[in-house]
Structure 1
Amino acid sequence: MKSKFWIFSLLISTVMIGGCSAGDAQPENESEKNQAMDHTKMKPEQKMGDMEEMEGHMNHVNPPALNDSTEENELAVPPLLEPKDGSYPITAQQGTTELFEGIQTETYGYNGSFLGPVIRIKRGDAVTFKTRNGLTEPTTFHWHGLDIPGKGDGGPHQIIEPGETKYVKFTVNQEASTLWFHPHQKGITAEQVYKGLAGLIYVEDENSQKLGLPDHYGVNDFPLVFQDRQFDDKNQLNFKAVHNDDGTIGNTLLVNGTLNPKLTVGAEKVRLRLLNGSNARNYTFKLNTGDSFQQIATDGGFLNEPLEMSEITLTPGERAEIIVDFSRQKSDSDIALLNEEDTILLPFKVKKEQTNSAELPESLNDYKVTDEERSLSVSKRLELFGMGKHVTINKKQFDMNRIDFTQKQGETEIWEVYNKPDPMGGMIHPFHIHGTQFKIVSIDGEDPPEILQGWKDTVAIEPGQTVKLAVKFKNKGIYMYHCHLLEHEDNGMMGQVEVN
């Protein structure tokens, strides 16, 4: 305990000496000067506030352990949403959900009390989303990873008031992928997602339909939404009581909104579509048997070929599709998906039945970073910095009335994103760009690892890392780019690019 106290005291001293502003840069104007953290001129209560913030940061560095699943409940599989009268009706609503036996927890959901359905659309389709706000507070509907005109993207400009209905119309113009949707209301995104507003989007295309991959929804093709939550003594989601400005992390795991889940599968190859839907926790997924699995897709599409691996890490907002071969397992096998701390996230029960025994294709896609893209000069430079309420991009916090960058529709530019360490070492920032799927050209000047050589909309950037991205927008409009730690987003680690 004494050692922890002295370490914390040393960290406090370091930050008080070094400050939390962006390195040696001097404020350019009075506004920036007011935003800088000058500890020498702070009042005692301000210093105490920063000490609490740094303690919160330390809690984030050493997050509370998750519970092991006790396998009490069969995993809930979200319903597939079918169009009605030519549109997909999606209502954000509030209600109660029995997460704990005999107890009703107040929650939010889409078309239900908790979480949402899976929307399945196909490339080339003209699609209409009929979005309605059934909450008692404003919200937005953001289509994370979807190539969509800015006016329908669902960022903080496209507010839907309580009781209001809006239509989002677009033509699907991207390859097969697993995307998701969630609110993006300014300042309260973290809380609305925490309470349950999240759902998935499956995009299909001609390529995906001819590959012969497991695609029997809910049988050998499963969506898996991983979210950690903290419940109070009445088993309620009291967000304000547990809120952390560096990312709210809980000790209780929910998968598809199911507490203590298990998943029954056939003795066959099964496709698992993983989404890290947490506010801030990272997950490194692996099998307790030590068996390998094959990754087939990143955020925005298939890899060029199945990639064999033993573990995969996803930060908030990231997705991956993997294939696990359960035909090797006996019906009484003890097999489960774990995280890096060997916490049992999702146990599997293997039954003898199988519906698909086909081999995986050797070729899935023709993705590549072109020589032309590699030769492009950097046109946009971004610096991510800070923690808690003092997070910035290029020393600025989000302003809805300020356009930070402009870009031409259909033109590829190179964005260079640097995660500048702070006096406490810094944090991993999952960097997300709306309205596009980008290519990772390099990480610290080197080619990205194979697992990142595919379409992405969110990339984890470690402290001190510099990532170059080839970014092209197919549509016009205003789009957000931000850290996908939802509390960082709410605190202003976000900017705007206008595509024209």
Structure 2
Amino acid sequence: MPEAQHCPNRQASDPSKKAGHADWAAELRWVLLCCGLLASLSTTPALGEETPPVNGSSPVILLDPMGIEKFIHELPRPIEIRHEGSAPVELSVRSGPVWMGLRDRDGERLMTTVWGFEYAGQLHSPGPTFRARTDRPIAVQWLNELSGPHLFPVDRSIHLASTKDPDAVPIVIHLHGGHSEWESDGNPLAWYTRGYIETGPLFKKKTYHYDNSQDAATIWYHDHTLGMTRLSNYAGLFGFYLIGDKNEDRLIREKLLPGEHRTIAVAIADRLFTQEGQLYFPGRRGQPSSPVLHRAVEDNWPDPSHLDEFFGNVMVVNGMVWPKVSVSPHVYRLRLLNAADTRTLVLKIDGDIPFLQIGSDGGFLDRPVRLSELVLAPAERADVLLDFSQYSGRKLIMRNFGPDVPFKGFVEAQDPEHSLALVYNRGGNRVLSDGRGGTTPPTDPQTSGQVLQFEVMPTTGSATNARDEPRALVGDLKLKADTPLRPPLHRLTEAQASRSRQLATFRLDDPYGRNLLLLGTLRDGSLFFGDPATEIVAHNAVEIWEIYNPTRSAHPIHIHLVEFQVLDRQPFKGKLIPKSQPFLHTDKSFQGARLKIEALTGELLPPRAEERGPKDTVIALPGQVTRVIAHFDREGIYVWHCHLLSHEDYDMMRPFEVRASASSKMP
């Protein structure tokens, strides 16, 4: 469905005023509003003007990706933390140099300044991989040792974690996919600075407690600071958190899955670098835009300014540019994470090696699913098996066909204008949609079109030919197409739901004319993160959330706390109706919108097979309503948001509360 263009570009009425955003008191007022303790917000500072560039405005020259060595350096394997006992794990968040595989013209290593986690005397970026066990709690203290300013341009005109010290750097770590108490969830307003000198209004404790009350799963942790999530994740503040259980142990013991020696956690992201080998994130006037996106900061925008999308031309895997991974001719298990800002990955492997997907965000699927290509939106995970038994001595590249623009689904190649956008590419006959009835240009096959290389060692006497196991589904494993991978998933039914909520996504123009992405409801229309919570959920309720997307792009929607089940998708027709609403916590107003649904069209589209396991992030396709069902079994203040990080930061995130009763109030 074409996106309505109904919001005219407007200048701020007084561009001479300083950049304003919600200070601590304003954020606290937001919390009180959500708790029903205040009736209205008082006025905060007006919109901002240009902010002088930090350390002057020296020109930046970007590194040419074609000059970077590919598939030379081995894929890094993050150090693992296997913690037992009640004492908390202490990880210091610091800044420091690491080697990401870059060299200068003389062949000398170019060290890159990143943010990472100090453990065992070294800085790790991405961070260490936690190895946890179901129902065995652990405690972690994420110590902030960062000194400012931030590595990347911070736009102070958006809703931001506000510190009195302008050089202080706030952080807060969210365990993405974790079934966490709300005080340990990493709420964007629970941020804190170095030494806890300043804290956000929802900061509750220094030590986070993870009870790991969930099945085996590939989950991850990352920074979640209000208005800075995209920047701090880009700096390196993320890592794997792998939960194991007795069922997974059994699958490995019975040779249905490979053991740990043939299991690899793989985090994929795209980046930009300067000629000096430093990470580069666009946002300053006069400095380079992304050579992929070609979107620069305009003269009437704040400087630095938020940009609503990010695409890089260098693929980085586990912190190394275009690595290789040496494997034997056996079956390997890859635990994949899309850690990019905006880029959806569409992965294929040379030789038409299929992906045998065995798990998604929240754990194992009921049974394995064979895929010719794998679609992963930002924050989604996929647990897959790859069979290299027939490729002894070969070098095979994992390629990305995900576009250099936001993902919009697949459409029929012969008639993209009139075909329905789908997440999957059935039979390989569909093409990527541009959201306007055409097709998306191909990804550069020499840069963002390549991810990593598998270097398969020559066959030895220990290798087993897949033909020796004629009934096996993959390689030398005993896995078959109908092998159960888990006890039957307890599927929630619509009859169990106490209510359905009608939610929506919005793409609007802010008062500067920048793209502004918001969430909201059909009843209330577009809402900012700081507006009072509209999703007040009764403790232990089962609810259906219907997410209507009238924009031209897909949005990977993440709901904290819960593992939901995808029910279906359905096309709709609707129109945007303008509404006036306050702009952030200012005395300015701008033209928001309400979405009026005119009709649901076509048949319900069931979730694809790999979406039928427990999920925490779902692709909400343009022009469709995506329906999920979840059990909200913990009280507290949580958030739901788009996981395109540049969308989440401005301002595509909303709070929700789980209360013991409708009349109870959260602290």
- Shorter-chain TM-score bucket reads 0.7 to 0.9
Equivalences for 1:376-387 in 2 at 5 Å?
376=497, 378-386=499-507
| Structure 1 CA distance for aligned equivalents of residues 185 and 627 of structure 2 | 24
Amino acid at match of 1:186: L
Secondary structure at the counterpart of residue 248 of structure 2: helix
- Aligned residue number for residue 184 of structure 1: 224
How far residue 38 of structure 1 moved from its aligned partner, in angstroms, is 3.5
Alignment of structure 1 residues 140-289 onto 2, 5 Å: 140-164=172-196, 166-212=206-252, 213-214=256-257, 216-217=259-260, 219-241=261-283, 242=289, 245-289=307-351
Query: What displacement does 1:476 show?
Result: 1.5
Q: CA deviation at 1:406?
A: 1.0
Report the alpha carbon displacement of residue 390 of structure 1 after superposing the two structures with TM.
Answer: 1.6
Normalised to the residue count of structure 2, the TM-score between the two structures is 0.63
Deviations 1:179-235 (A, max 9, x none): 000011001110000111110010111111101254544x31000000100112322
Distance 1:44 1:141, change over 3 A: closer
Give the one of 474, 478, 484 matched to 2:633.
474
Deviates more, 1:146-155 or 1:387-396: 387-396
1:55 matched to which residue of 2? none
Alignment partner of 1:322 is 2:384: yes
Relative to total residues, which structure has the larger helix share, 1 or 2?
Answer: 1
Q: Distance in 1 between matches of 2:211 and 2:245?
A: 13
SS of residue matched to 1:70: coil
- The structure having more radius of gyration, on CA atoms, is 2
Query: How far has the Cα of 1:375 moved from its partner?
Result: 6.8
- The question of whether the paired residues in 2 share the 8 Å contact of 1:181 and 1:200 is answered with yes
Shift of 1:368: 4.9
State the distance in 2 between where 1:308 and 1:69 align. 33
Question: Is contact 2:82–2:132 with CA below 8 Å preserved after alignment?
Answer: no
Classify 1:41/1:81 alpha carbon distance in 2 versus 1 (closer, same or farther; 3 Å): closer
Query: Which residue of structure 2 lines up, in the alignment, with residue 5 of structure 1?
Result: none
Match of 2:115 in 1: 108
1:293 lines up with 2:355 in the alignment = yes
Distance 1:98 1:41, change over 3 A: closer
Q: C-alpha separation between the residues in 1 aligned to 2:545 and 2:652?
A: 17
Answer yes or no: is the 8 Å Cα contact 2:497–2:541 preserved in 1.
no
Residue matched to 2:591: none
CA deviation vs aligned residue, 1:301-347 (integer Å, no higher than 9, x gap): 1111111111111010100011001112112x131211114533111
Q: Shift in Å at residue 96 of structure 1?
A: 1.1
Quick one: distance in 1 between partners of 2:504 and 2:316?
34
What is the aligned length? 445
**Is the contact between residue 318 and residue 458 of structure 1 (CA under 8 Å) also seen in structure 2?**
yes
2:352 aligns to what SS in structure 1? coil
Instruction: Specify the alignment match of 2:33 in structure 1.
Output: none
Matched, 1:462 2:621: yes
Instruction: Return the letter of the residue paired with 2:382.
Output: A
Distance 1:496 1:66, change over 3 A: farther
Name structure 1 gaps, 5 residues minimum: 1-13, 21-36, 46-64
Q: Residues 226-273 of structure 1: CA distance to partner in whole angstroms, max 9, x if unpaired?
A: 010011232211324457622211000110001120000121110001
Would the alpha carbon gap of residues 334 and 403 (structure 1) be closer, same or farther in structure 2, given more than 3 Å must change? same
Q: Does the CA-based 8 Å contact 2:308-2:650 persist in structure 1?
A: no
Structure 2 counterpart of 1:485: 644
Query: Could you tell me whether the CA contact under 8 Å between 1:369 and 1:441 is conserved in 2?
Result: no
Q: How do 1:425-464 and structure 2 match up within 5 A?
A: 426-444=552-570, 445-464=604-623
The SS at the match of 1:390 is strand
Q: TM-score, normalised by structure 1?
A: 0.83
Question: In 1, distance between residues paired with 2:649 and 2:115?
Answer: 19
Matching of residues 37-48 of structure 1 within 5 Å: 37-39=7-9
Whichever residue aligns with residue 475 of structure 1, its letter is: R
- Asked whether the 8 Å contact 1:214–1:221 carries over to 2, the reply is no
Output the CA distance in 2 between the equivalents of 1:475 and 1:496. 15
Q: How many percent identity over aligned positions?
A: 29
1:166 counterpart SS class: coil
Query: Contact 2:546–2:628 at 8 Å: present in 1 too?
Result: yes
- Of 347, 359, 363 in structure 1, the residue corresponding to residue 478 of structure 2 is 359
For residue 373 of structure 1, report the CA deviation from its aligned partner.
Answer: 2.7
Instruction: Give the structure 1 partner of residue 56 of structure 2.
Output: none
Worse-superposed segment, 478-487 or 384-393: 384-393
Shift of the 41–125 alpha-carbon distance from structure 1 to 2, 3 Å rule, reads closer
Work out the CA distance in 1 between the residues paired with 2:65 and 2:356. Answer: 25
SS class of match (1:239): coil
SS in 2 for 1:365: coil
Change (3 A) 1:119 1:410: same
Matched residue of 1:337: which SS? strand
Compute the RMSD of aligned alpha carbons: 2.7
